Amino acid sequence: MRSVEHETRMASLEIRQKIMRVDAHINALQQQRRTLIGEATTQQSVLQLCDKLKAPIRRIPRDIVKEIAISCLPPRPTPSPQHFPLVFSHVCSLWRTVALSTPRMW
């Protein structure tokens, strides 16, 4: 009887230890999953940035952007927050540079 009890206790101990090892492994895998999700999110952001850099508007030469902007000017300047050169200069850094370097726009 004592032998069966001892074997049962030993089997229970082994099972508990195995459960602890499995739980530890699960925790490690969950941490690895979180890390990989973070890396994937970062790479997705980089990919989106790369896609933006390939946008057709970025391939238009500066002098063409300047001509487009000049052709969009109203016949008379208006001192308002919607003043075209001001709005134009807030689109992106290239357009800001074009606006600031084109005296005709102001």
Task: Determine the Cα–Cα distance for residues 70 and 20; give it in Å rounded to an integer.
Answer: 72
Q: Do the Cβ atoms of 70 and 102 come closer than 8 Å?
A: yes
60-94 tens-digit pLDDT: 999 999 999 999 888 877 777 678 888 999 988 99
Task: Determine the Cα–Cα distance for residues 93 and 65; give it in Å rounded to an integer.
Answer: 12
33-63 tens-digit pLDDT: 999 999 999 999 999 998 888 888 888 999 9
